[in-house]
Amino acid sequence: MTRYAMFGEIMMRLKAPGYERLFQTPSLEVTMAGAEANVAVGLARLGEDVSFVTALPTNDLGIAVRDELRKHGVDVSKIAFCKGRLGLYFVESGANQRPIKVVYDRADSCIARAEPRVFNWRELLAHRDWFHITGITPAISETAMHCTLEAMKTARDMGLTVSCDLNLRATLWQYQVNHVDVYRRMMEYVDVLIGNEGHFQSCLGLSARVDEEDIYHNPTAYRPMADEVFEHWPNIKKIAITVRRTRSADHQSTAALLVTPEAMWTSSVFEMKDIVDRIGGGDAFTAGLLHALDKTGDSRETIDFAVAAGALKHSIPGDFLRATHEEIQTLAQGAAGRDQR
């Protein structure tokens, strides 16, 4: 069994109830959330062996986060506990024309302030086979960027497979750096790359582009986009490209392609008309992808499973993919929404 490790920030997410605007009524729903943590939990619920590396404060918030990860079966023994604060974000659901709104309060968190020496990557990645990271972690702070690069480099040196989800949050990048430079340095350590159609340009500064409707009618249009990546970074062996169409806050569709230098598989399109919670949908896709790559390798089954995982997440409150292999498999095979009685 593949043994995964991931590194990133996990925050407390404080959500207004139902479709209320923030602070409309005086209560908040607490869940935990963070791009790599979402992938970790999703994989753990699928039965995988996952270790999550982060820095948490030694207060009730840090403890609560650790316990939540542990509940889902994630290995928390590699977490560093420090003095400081936990990153938070406040969120309200969107509906119809009203988009989801997020208010971040994540500055100066433990992970943002953690010095590279906090993490001994040789030890943290021992007995691990796969390292996953996203483009959000280096955006947190300059030290987090250094930790990210060191982790990726060490993972590669130690022979782990490295996957990376380009995941640009432009507003997060607050320190003096060109994020494209950082992403391009990261690419040197990557085996499996995940991104949406816009990321190749916005994160990596590449030039290939696709038309919005190509996913339906002309999936081969994505080939040049992938080839440009393969050409720049020959170490990258697989690319998963996700495609989302947003009709309204609660009506969207999702699909994806798995591309290797030799082949390409296009998933079914999943139409989601009554989205419950779209945050974490991309991370659920990644969890599904990693799990399926492990089980079914490069194939149409793999990309369908990954997209089904991502779609299923949209029906579940919170950031986490709380689903079993069987549930995702059933959906990937087409039995959408039928009763299980």
Residue 178 binds a second copy, judged by CB under 8 A = no
The SS3 assignment for 226 reads: helix
Binding segment for a second copy among 187-195, 196-204, 221-229, 241-249 (CB under 8 A)?
A: 241-249
Rule CB under 8 A: choose which of 3, 80, 107, 185 binds a second copy. 107
Residue 96 binds a second copy, judged by CB under 8 A = yes
Residue 245 binds a second copy, judged by CB under 8 A = no
Residue 276 binds a second copy, judged by CB under 8 A = yes
Binding segment for a second copy among 55-63, 124-132, 151-159, 197-205 (CB under 8 A)?
A: 55-63
CB 286 within 8 A of CB 293: no
Rule CB under 8 A: choose which of 174, 178, 218, 246 binds a second copy. 246
Residue 24 binds a second copy, judged by CB under 8 A = yes
CB 134 within 8 A of CB 192: no
* Least distance (Å) between residue 157 CB and a second copy: 32
Residue 23 binds a second copy, judged by CB under 8 A = yes
Rule CB under 8 A: choose which of 26, 159, 234, 297 binds a second copy. 26
Residue 73 binds a second copy, judged by CB under 8 A = yes
What would the DSSP string read from start to end of 142-208? HHHHHHHHHHHHHHHHTT-EEEEE----GGG--SSS-HHHHHHHHHTT-SEEEEETTHHHHTT----
148's CB contacts (< 8 A; 6+ apart) are 7, 133, 137, 138, 186
Residue 339 binds a second copy, judged by CB under 8 A = yes
Residue 146 binds a second copy, judged by CB under 8 A = no
CB 69 within 8 A of CB 52: yes
For a second copy (CB under 8 A), the number of binding residues is 75
Q: For 269, which DSSP code?
A: P
Alpha-carbon dihedral 338, 277, 245, 240, rounded to 10 degrees: -90
